[in-house]
Amino acid sequence: MNARGRSAGPDPFDTAALRDAALDTWRRDPSRLRQDANLEEDHARGSYRDRVIVELAQNAADAAAEAGVPGDLVFRLTSTEDGGELLAANTGRPLTRAGVAALATLRASAKRAGEAPTVGRFGVGFSATRSLSDEITVATRTEHGPAGVRFSLAETAALLDRAADDIPDLAREIARRHGDLPALRLPVPLEDTAAEAQLDPGRTTAVRLRLRGPAEREAARSALEAVDDVLLLALPTLRTVRVEIDDAPARVLADVGSRWRTATAAGHLPAGLVADRPVEERDRTGWSVTWALPREESGSPPALIHAPTPTEDPVTLPALLVATFPLDPTRRHAVPGPVTEYLLARAAEVYADLAVRLAGEGAAEEALGLVPTGLPAGPIDGAVHAAALETLAGAGLLTEVGTGELITARSAQSLAGPAGQDPEVLGALAPMVGGLVRVPAHREVHARRLGVAIRDLADVVETLPAAGPPERWRQVYAALAPHAATHREALSALPVPLHDGTTFAHGPRGLLLPSPELTALPAGLPGLRIVHPRAAHPVLATVGAVGADAVTLLQQPSLRAAVEDPEGPSEPPAGQPPDGVNRAVAVVLDLAAQAVERHGDDVALPAWLAELPLPVERTRTDLAPAAELTIPGSWAAEVLDALEPVARRVLDHWGGPTLAAVGVRAGLTTVTVPDVVADPAAADETRLDGWSDYLEHLAEILGPGVWVGDLIAVADLDAVAEGAWPQVLERLAATPALRAALLDPVRAEGGGTGTAAPSYTAWWLREELGAPFALPGRRRAPFLTAPPAGIDRLDEAVLGAVGAVGDLAELDAAGWDAYLDRWPEEGTVDLTDAVALWLALARAATEGVRFDPPTVVPALTGANARMCPADDVVVATPMWAQAAAVVPAPLDLVDAVADLLDLDVAPDVPPAVTGHRTGPTPAAVRTLLPEVPGEWVECEELEVDGSPVTWWVNRGTVYATSTAGLARSLAHAAGSWPARFAVEAVLTDPTLLGDVLTGCAGDPPATGQR
């Protein structure tokens, strides 16, 4: 009975007819029972267990849609030890006879043409309930009162047993199934009182599942706990979903629009698209597409397409897709074909609409995040990606900086890196860069995928138009200032308006920033590239512009050109300079004065200022370069007498420090010669005396064409007054910069500690002072000149640099050449000096020194030394001095010394012997020198090349005419020439052997004839 006392009747849904029809069919054809049972078994065994909740919700949504009311749905799980019960109660249209027929026929739906575009209510989806339950009731409130149906596996088994009494084939089919029977095919009515009891207050329909056991209970619990907003999004006719699980607090899902943004479209499929679809679907042409996007970034849409219940087709876009795609019989996959392709195209349009709406609402970043990236997860996802990307590329998603208008990706360009995130930079560049948009760094991949041109700052700067008011450019520079340190090269092409108001420079490098010094300059000086004062900004200095202080201005080529212009600027100077001073020169001197005032007397000004033409004191008209002038009354004026004093009027006007800073000499100074190459042909113009000769000298030592880099030299050495060298050398030694220019050697650039050459200053002074010469206070080597007067107070490092030597071993190749030039043409040589010379020559040969061979050499002739023509001298051991003029050398250095002096080596000549006999070498000598031959030849007379000799050694044979000669020949033969006197003592008195051996105990090992 209902509230009004009415009853819906004993079988309002005509379930008897449904049962009879099914049983009759199975009786006639038992195989049909097998087919229906197998179909339901797929659901009952759990393959659809994960679909129960969503399928029940789908039915509730259909009921609400059919009734045109908001759908309210309750899920309630009541657990018991053996399973429990699951209730789904909803509002909306009550269950109908057609609906019950749909429940009982599994694959048939109650939907017909013209109804809402959803899956049929109480049709295919309801069969999923069999995965959880064998006892299912559906109660509803009809207009006649409560009514309902029950689906029971036990009732089905009883009905089938009775139906198979007289049909053995059906009985056998039932038996072989062991209880797996199609319970949904045989509904039975609920009595109205039972139906009333099954209903939930406030709801129209209630579906109750008696859960089969604990496993089914836990499956139901998990499914209910997973219910979330997606259910309401997929089934928009549902207003609320209430989830109650045992005694836990109820969870209510509602107001889904506050948490999700949605975009929806609906319509009817063109008739031609459904021609190949199943008959049941051809009349249902309605379609709908919905995209849903979480409003909070933490939200994560499911990665599956809903149609509208969830499928197993993945979608990797960052939004939920709900669309009425045609599904395969499992309802888990969209079916490829024209309908799916059509819906994918509509889905792309709706997706783009959602993105455009987001962009229009100021959520451009979220809109850009909808652009598909990465690899699709499958064919359907790939089709969604392609369609969405194509549609989004033509949609106005991006907000143009400056105008605020939405533009398409094809019209947009973005700035990469931190500068592209800086609103000041974008705002400053927008008037000059069309279609400029801000793309957040984490969305850059989306923008590239969409087709936005992502440009580096350098590319954008390179294309900026050189136009516009200076104030706009100052705004640009100010905006870019925070990024200048890390993007110096990128900003090197910035257009910069110049002071004339019409010209732009391509890049700040080398431009002059406005300064008081610039404003003080007279107009008319051409070529100065000055930044417009209204555009000037400190960041320009970071990327290459320079502050126009006095030093910087003096470095400008245009200022030098003005000085060198014979006509000069026409505008009169601000103050009248002294007579004879060009107006441009006066400007330069004024700037130099400012530099000195700001930086001090030691300020480094450009080298070209040394060429400034300044008046000479002795005339009113003559001009000379500043480097050829001295400051009257200075040290240079006294010492550098080859230079002219500058005009006193110039000195009075600008002062000594300013004139010294531009190159007028007040004392000794250094100059730097850049990029020096050891090649006279590559010599640059310089005021250094003998520069080409010095380069030739470098080439001989370091190698032709070797690059040695910048060289520092002391200037004006050729202007030193006669007799002033002691003063000059003393100042060189005492002044650090001058001393370094003298002492620092010159090496090939990158040559490390390899071969070194003397500095230009050292080379020039050696030439001037007549090096090599003896160190003051030392005994002079033969033919070495005395030191110049007045240099005895210099330290040895300076003395060595200018050519003083304490020993001939200190001579280098150039020193030897100069020294050889001083050898006399003839005359005797003190033997002490001669020995020193011969030892020095041996050392030079050992060390690989090379020099031009002399035409005369000091030779040993007999017991004397004299200067002999080189053609008459040979190099040999001292033995040959008995027969020829020789340069004596140790046996192992004879060839090296001969090569050094370009002399012949004495030949191997046997002596002519008269009255000879052979005898044994005395035992005492063999003890002293074990290497001596065992015998010797005693001769009455010996001759070599017609000259009488007292001893000789030839091919190991020892010849001698005397005891002294024998001692020399034995020592020579043993390779121990220094032992000759010890041998002579033992030969004279063998008893002295012990004393001699004792005396030799501390001698070094004998090495050749040394």
pLDDT bucket at 304, cuts 50 / 70 / 90 = confident
Segment 56-90, tens digit of pLDDT? 999 999 999 999 999 999 999 999 999 999 999 99
Q: What is the dihedral of CA 140, 141, 142, 146, to 10 degrees?
A: 90
Q: So what's the pLDDT on residue 13?
A: 92
Assess contact for 132 and 198: CB atoms under 8 A: no
Residue 138 has what pLDDT? Answer: 96
Contact 881, 952 (CB under 8 A): no
Residue 135's Cβ-count burial label (10 Å; 0-12, 13-18, 19+) is: middle
Q: What is the largest CA-CA distance in the chain?
A: 176
Distances (CA, A) of 716 to 412, 668, 678: 67, 7, 22
Q: Tell me: the pLDDT tens digits for 335-388?
A: 888 888 899 899 888 988 888 888 888 888 888 888 998 888 888 888 888 888
User: Does position 1003 have pLDDT exceeding 80, yes or no?
Assistant: no
CA distance 668 to 742: 12
* pLDDT (tens digit per residue) in 676-728: 999 988 877 888 999 999 999 999 888 999 999 999 999 999 999 988 999 99
Q: What is the pLDDT of residue 118?
A: 36
CA 816-818-819 angle, to 5 degrees, is 60
Return the H-helix or E-strand segment holding 952.
strand 951-954
Tokens representing 824 are 């006399």
State the alpha helices, DSSP H only, in 29-96: 30-42, 52-67
Percent of the chain clearing pLDDT 90 (strictly above) = 47
- d(C-alpha 799, C-alpha 742), whole Å: 11
What's the rounded Cα separation, in Å, for the pair 842 and 152?
127
Given this model, what pLDDT does residue 1002 score? 66
Cα dihedral 782, 786, 787, 792, rounded to 10, equals 100
Contact 874, 906 (CB under 8 A): yes
0.85 exceeded by pTM: no
Measured from the Cβ of residue 206, the count of other Cβ atoms closer than 10 Å reads 24
Instruction: State which amino acid sits at residue 1000.
Output: C
- Band of pLDDT at residue 956, cut at 50, 70 and 90: confident
DSSP one-letter code for 683:
P
User: How many Å apart are CA 511 and CA 788, to the nearest integer?
Assistant: 54
Residue 824: half-sphere exposure toward Cβ, Cα within 13 Å: 13
Q: Count of residues for the chain? A: 1010
Pick the more confident residue, 998 or 116: 998
Strands 629-630 and 644-645: parallel
Q: Which burial class, exposed, middle or buried, applies to 893 when counting CB atoms under 10 A from its CB (0-12, 13-18, 19+)?
A: buried
Residue 822, both tokens? 């001083």
d(CA 239, CA 223): 20
The overall average pLDDT reported for the chain is 87
Beta bridge partners of 376: none
Residue tagged 């888990």 (tokens): 332
How many angstroms from the chain centroid is the CA of residue 724? 60
- Nearest Cα neighbor of 760 from 859, 672, 850 is 672
Calpha distance 265→674 (Å, rounded): 79
437 touches 413 (CB < 8 A)? yes
Q: Using an 8 Å Cβ cutoff, are 473 and 496 in contact? A: yes
- The answer to whether 694 and 767 have CB atoms below 8 angstroms apart is no
Domains and their CATH numbers in the chain: 15-247 (3.30.565.10), 256-393 (no CATH), 613-760 (no CATH), 909-1010 (no CATH)
CA distance linking residue 980 with residue 927, whole number of Å: 14
Q: Does 44 score more than 70 pLDDT?
A: no
Where helices occur in 199-287 by DSSP H, the ranges are 214-225, 229-234, 279-282
Q: Which of 636, 634, 642, 637 is nearest to 722 (CA)?
A: 642
Could you give the percent of the chain with pLDDT greater than 70? 92
pLDDT of residue 726: 92
Cα dist. 248→76, 77, 90, 243 in Å? 11, 10, 21, 10
The predicted structure's pLDDT at residue 278:
65
CB contact at 8 A, 378 and 314: yes
Mean pLDDT of 199-227: 94
3-state class of 433 per DSSP?
Answer: coil
Distance between CA 329 and CA 520 in Å, rounded? 93
Distance CA 486, CA 988 (A): 93
Residue 891 in this model has a pLDDT that exceeds 60: yes
pLDDT digits (tens, 9 = 90+) for 468-515: 999 999 999 999 999 998 998 989 999 999 988 888 999 999 888 888
The 10 Å CB-count burial string (b at 16+, else e) for 442-467 is ebbebbbbbbbebbebeebbbebeee
Per-residue pLDDT for 144 more than 90? no
Give me the torsion for CA of 825, 827, 831, 835, rounded to 10°.
Answer: 10
* pLDDT at residue 279 greater than cutoff 80: no
Angle (CA) 900 1009 988, round 5°: 145
Please say whether the dihedral angle defined by the alpha carbons of residues 741, 746, 752 and 755, taken in this order, is positive or negative.
negative
pLDDT in tens, 398-413: 999 999 899 998 999 9
SS3 category, 951: strand
Contact 380, 422 (CB under 8 A): no
Write down the H helix ranges in 623-772. Answer: 635-639, 648-654, 656-662, 691-702, 725-734, 736-743, 760-769
**CA 570 to CA 317: how far, in whole Å?**
75
Task: List CB contacts of 107: < 8 A, sequence separation 6 or more.
Answer: 39, 123, 124
Tokens representing 452 are 């936005």
Our CA angle for 466, 467, 470, nearest 5°, is: 110
Return all residues near 306 (Cβ < 8 A) that are at least 6 apart. 230, 233, 234, 320, 321, 322, 323
Q: What angle do CA 81, 83, 88 make, to 5 degrees?
A: 135
pLDDT at residue number 687: 86
DSSP labels for 300-352? ---SEEESSSEEEEE--SSSEEEE---B-TTSSSBPPSHHHHHHHHHHHHHHH
Query: Dihedral of the CA atoms 190, 192, 197, 202 (nearest 10)?
Result: 110
Q: What confidence score (pLDDT) does residue 3 get?
A: 40
* Backbone torsions φ then ψ of 648, nearest 5 degrees: -60, -35
Output the six-digit token pair for 795: 């330290």
CA distance 550 to 546: 11
The pLDDT assigned to 471 comes to 94
